Structure 1
């Protein structure tokens, strides 16, 4: 009985232990799956059997994200780092095959000659000379203290990354040097390049364009397209992709939500109109403060500009809608200001002012004193303004005597507020010192024109927000559509038509795509759902997207391989059609042996192309025809060609003259230029060449 009593007392504890054990079992499985029941790999990929750890790759991604601070999307960073990782691994593997490695002493030599390190003050003596011992002491200290704090470990890891990147860059340079060593160009090749550019040929020709035969007269069979694709497989390789169709349900305020926001402002109008301090009243009651500045008519909302310009001081206008906000505005002041202003200035910067040289020591007080002194001189004699600007101004306009030329109501947006207020709100000839974030300006208003009515407004705005009721209605709407479509997967289009919803198609979505046509922002969740193994053609899913919700249906899984006939037809049909037209033209005019014969039979005029080169094979009025021009160089003067199949039509040519460029003593310049081009092409081709012969497993889509 005592034992049973103890068991009863500890029942709750036992239940908790068992529950936690079950939870740990379940959660461990969750963390090892991707949410679809599939095991999540621990490597993001492999290159020729060399695994790339996801954890290490993830750390690189997070570090890059902290550097870019939103200027690049996650997938842009992921794709860039993946390409780097693949290239680095392939180059390292190639060097390993050759027995080339970067040893510790070589790494040290690279570090102590790197400007990124030698230029750091911490590794220099008092005279600014790099001291190798200081670098060694720094590294030893990092190693010894790395476990003392998270910051110490972070500093140590940063240094390890520095060493890693130094090795990577060294390996790249080594491999590039090997490629460069293999890029040989002979002097003879230099001469051939010279000839291709400078030897000239002139020929007469008759051109029968492909457009002279109607497309409807040429039959292109499906088998023709298949044969073409089969002969050009490398040009028609496609990655696996998915097709989806979807209905977008935007999360936007309802008419009732708009009415609520509008009514709130209606109730404020009387108080706003009666307020002694309209600006303070607006600041207290508005959703977003708006600057109280003079505005021209063209700066006001177009549909409300006339009504606002017609107000009297103290009048309140609105509510009126601009974007997703309702507004009411009270007229504070109306006056006339110029549309355009011409001015000149002298800018005196001080330490810490925007754009100031970091070495500038002049204090704000000293800058103000200098500006006041210059102002006094100019007031006594304005003709000195240009010379003083050239001597003392810290602005690029100094070279022009401080002249900033004309600014209008639109371009003046580039001016600082204090500068703009001075030149627009004072009269021609006004001269004074004005402070801005850039320093102190001695400004003179030289001219003004086109006086316009302007208004200064105090504005209260109220953003239209989506109410809880609207969210509920939207949820009911898309949930019903999803449920009905899921019950009968073939009814998606019919249900959308019945509900007057627009169905959008997104075809050929790649596994690493970041966006979906018709939707804003990144849509990786949509893409990942469409590529999940357990997602079948016809499946329906509801997904949150930027600005709302979509109900999507997977309509096709397109495997990797060759393009289908339907997909390739748009590209292939014109090529095959022209090939068939060429045969038809050749057959029709097979008996023509001279230009005169062909011109007479076809009704096409005989023409002449003068001084063409192999480097620039452009037939006047037709376009680039390298095969035709190449044939002309292969013929002797006076010879007539057979019928030639060109890019734009069928030709017959007769060589009039061939002019050989003068011999040169040396073709070293041409050889060097050709070598530079060949090197550039070879180096840029390395990544693609290495990838084409490598076995690469890419699992980015499983993680991002």
Structure 2
């Protein structure tokens, strides 16, 4: 009774203890299963490199910088480009980390004197020279650089610009350290005379020989039976080829097409035809485009050659108000209207004086200075002298402010770039001889229009586009088929069900954790994320949407980092294994023909083949004319004695027997200096990549990028 009483009194506490213990065990098991930690926050841990964490926010900051630079080139970032930028940034980040550790071990630094030279006025680092190059000459503009440094030191400097400059200088220092490290490595490269002689002979020693070959294709695949021993023998001999630097996954999938049907296309076309009638009668073309077009674009005058080809041949001979379309282009129905046309100058010649905001002390002072210079010019002062004295554009200042002629789009002659819109728009609206003050991103321009030449017709065309999209009915039908297929699947009937439904099963092999697309599918990131959470044999628990396709998939293989197991590469190596088995059969055929000291012609006759003569082959280019590269065969040829029939050699295309007719040796290498320099230069070009590869191979990297992207 005492024990029962004890239990009754403490039952609440006992239950709470065991429930709490069970909950803790559950939480810990989930953390362990997901690779996290109960005691630390790893939500920002993008990777761990040799024990050092890589924070996601730091990496993403660098990724955004690279993406911004890409966008500045006028390129859009598609899913494929985003994946490329992310992988490139990761390689940069990883390389910097690994080299940084080596630099730290060696104690490499950049001293104050070196730093003053790198960012000095006389001979700055090439990156600085490029940033402050004259737009006309491409040469470093020292005055522009000095103005920028004075601006940074002033109290008016933008904090963001100061921080950007600081980061730029830090990057220069790190790059200089990396250069020092690579110099230490490359200074240790050495090419001896024996290597130079071997390289010289490999490129210049000639051989003439005859061969007889039996192609692997001469034996039908169906007559070759592969055993486990055949696979194992090939795998063991080539195991080094099956080492992967990162985890890979294979999966099969089927797609259900939800692209627009004929009915969908007809419906969108009918809508476009209705808009075409309304476009003809509207009184506000610009507003009509902005309201009805999927792609909003301002109406602007354009010259011949700048419109879409279908419009370029039509609009320049049409009357104002003419409507073209509907026509289909790039997946959309389009209607185009000629809003206006005009004839203007073909080119305009100007000169200018640029007043920089920073050097002038702010916008108000820059504007006042530009107005003052304009009055001086109107009063008779020399434009060229004022440009030499005051213009921040030193490239044109030395020419009296002159810049090349430009067209209505601001493109200068001779491929010298383009002007900013504010500049060329103002110049085309002005009259010859006018003096203007115009503001742009570079400051205030005092512009004199010197000449206006030629004439060109420009047209203003408004375009309304309606994308050809699938209707909800089309999407529902395709999605329902995908759902029905998914519901019919078990762990081992994927291929059978696909075949039963008349679906083509596709395979995605060696997919990385950060891959963005699959064969024929551009943006399949969700599918890849699923694959890296699934186990081998798993079938997706939902239908994925990728573009206008619905996807159902099954994970077929997980290939861990390191040397892949035989089973993981068995399908991949099957053609090579089959060729090895065929090679044994063909060698036996040749061995039989070689019995009794037969000549090469007799061997050819016995194996029902022919003798093929080959002349002037060099070791460095091991290609047999009419065949592919045959490294093993050509290597055997150069290691053979003259007039001696070889044993059978298995090559890439088949099995060969040959006889060497003779070698032609090049003149003796009298001076190996040039040869050494050529080899050394090739080594130097490869060295940096090889060093980075070696550091990466020896690094212990836990890559979590798949969780973030």
TM-score tier (shorter): 0.5 to 0.7
Counterpart CA distance in 2 for 1:81 and 1:247 is 32
Per-residue deviation at 1:506? 4.0
Distance 1:328-1:43 versus aligned 2 partners, 3 A rule: closer
Counterpart CA distance in 1 for 2:248 and 2:96 is 26
Counterpart CA distance in 1 for 2:634 and 2:481 is 64
Distance 1:670-1:502 versus aligned 2 partners, 3 A rule: closer
SS at match of 2:187: helix
SS at match of 2:106: coil
Counterpart CA distance in 2 for 1:294 and 1:166 is 44
> Normalised by the size of structure 2, how large is the TM-score?
0.62
Per-residue deviation at 1:185? 0.9
> Normalised by the size of structure 1, how large is the TM-score?
0.63
The reply on whether 1:46 has 2:56 as its aligned counterpart is: no
Counterpart CA distance in 2 for 1:193 and 1:602 is 37
Question: Which ranges in structure 1 are unaligned for 5 or more consecutive residues?
Answer: 1-28, 334-344, 372-392, 399-415, 420-437, 446-455
SS at match of 1:550: strand
For 1:29-68, what aligned pairs fall within 5 Å after superposition?
41-68=43-70
SS at match of 1:529: helix
For 1:618-629, what aligned pairs fall within 5 Å after superposition?
618-622=623-627, 624-629=629-634
- Do the aligned residues in 1 keep the contact of 2:213 with 2:655 (CA within 8 Å)? yes
**Alignment match of 2:685 (pick from 660, 668, 680):** 680
Per-residue deviation at 1:79? 1.4
SS at match of 2:251: strand
Counterpart CA distance in 2 for 1:93 and 1:661 is 48
SS at match of 1:207: strand
- Do the aligned residues in 1 keep the contact of 2:103 with 2:178 (CA within 8 Å)? no
Per-residue deviation at 1:240? 2.7
Per-residue deviation at 1:220? 3.4
- Do the aligned residues in 2 keep the contact of 1:614 with 1:629 (CA within 8 Å)? yes
Residues 671-698 of structure 1, C-alpha deviation per residue, up to 9 Å, x if partnerless? Answer: 2212222333333222222222222211
Counterpart CA distance in 2 for 1:601 and 1:256 is 68
Per-residue deviation at 1:241? 0.6
For 1:395-406, what aligned pairs fall within 5 Å after superposition?
395-396=413-414
Per-residue deviation at 1:330? 8.4
Distance 1:197-1:262 versus aligned 2 partners, 3 A rule: closer
Question: Which ranges in structure 2 are unaligned for 5 or more consecutive residues?
Answer: 1-26, 133-140, 341-345, 355-392, 417-424, 429-448
For 1:687-702, what aligned pairs fall within 5 Å after superposition?
687-702=692-707
Match of 2:532 in 1: 531
Distance 1:534-1:495 versus aligned 2 partners, 3 A rule: closer
Counterpart CA distance in 1 for 2:643 and 2:234 is 37
Match of 1:564 in 2: 569
Match of 1:359 in 2: 395
Match of 1:108 in 2: 112
- Do the aligned residues in 2 keep the contact of 1:249 with 1:478 (CA within 8 Å)? yes
Per-residue deviation at 1:83? 1.1
Match of 1:434 in 2: none
For 1:370-385, what aligned pairs fall within 5 Å after superposition?
none
- Do the aligned residues in 2 keep the contact of 1:329 with 1:457 (CA within 8 Å)? no
Worse-superposed segment, 484-493 or 658-667: 484-493
SS at match of 2:556: strand
Per-residue deviation at 1:666? 1.9
For 1:287-436, what aligned pairs fall within 5 Å after superposition?
287=293, 300=310, 348=349, 350-351=351-352, 359-360=395-396, 395-396=413-414
CA RMSD of superposed structures (Å): 5.9
Match of 1:90 in 2: 98
Counterpart CA distance in 2 for 1:156 and 1:367 is 34
Match of 1:19 in 2: none
**Alignment match of 2:665 (pick from 655, 660, 665):** 660
Match of 2:445 in 1: none
SS at match of 1:581: helix
Residues 141-199 of structure 1, C-alpha deviation per residue, up to 9 Å, x if partnerless? Answer: 79xx9xx99x6377347514632x23432332233223223321112322222222233
Counterpart CA distance in 2 for 1:329 and 1:51 is 56
**Alignment match of 2:233 (pick from 205, 227, 234):** 227
Counterpart CA distance in 2 for 1:439 and 1:499 is 75
Match of 2:552 in 1: 552
Residues 79-99 of structure 1, C-alpha deviation per residue, up to 9 Å, x if partnerless? Answer: 112212222222233345xx4
Worse-superposed segment, 186-195 or 32-41: 32-41
SS at match of 2:542: strand
Match of 1:9 in 2: none
Distance 1:170-1:294 versus aligned 2 partners, 3 A rule: closer
- Do the aligned residues in 1 keep the contact of 2:536 with 2:555 (CA within 8 Å)? no
Per-residue deviation at 1:58? 2.1
- Do the aligned residues in 2 keep the contact of 1:91 with 1:171 (CA within 8 Å)? no
Match of 1:198 in 2: 204
Distance 1:587-1:61 versus aligned 2 partners, 3 A rule: same
**Alignment match of 1:210 (pick from 202, 210, 215):** 215
Counterpart CA distance in 2 for 1:499 and 1:643 is 50
Match of 2:166 in 1: 159
Per-residue deviation at 1:230? 2.6
Per-residue deviation at 1:651? 4.2
Counterpart CA distance in 2 for 1:176 and 1:395 is 43
- Do the aligned residues in 1 keep the contact of 2:207 with 2:662 (CA within 8 Å)? yes
Per-residue deviation at 1:576? 4.5
Per-residue deviation at 1:361? 5.9
Counterpart CA distance in 1 for 2:151 and 2:399 is 37
Counterpart CA distance in 2 for 1:527 and 1:208 is 46
Per-residue deviation at 1:36? 8.4
- Do the aligned residues in 2 keep the contact of 1:107 with 1:167 (CA within 8 Å)? no
Match of 2:376 in 1: none
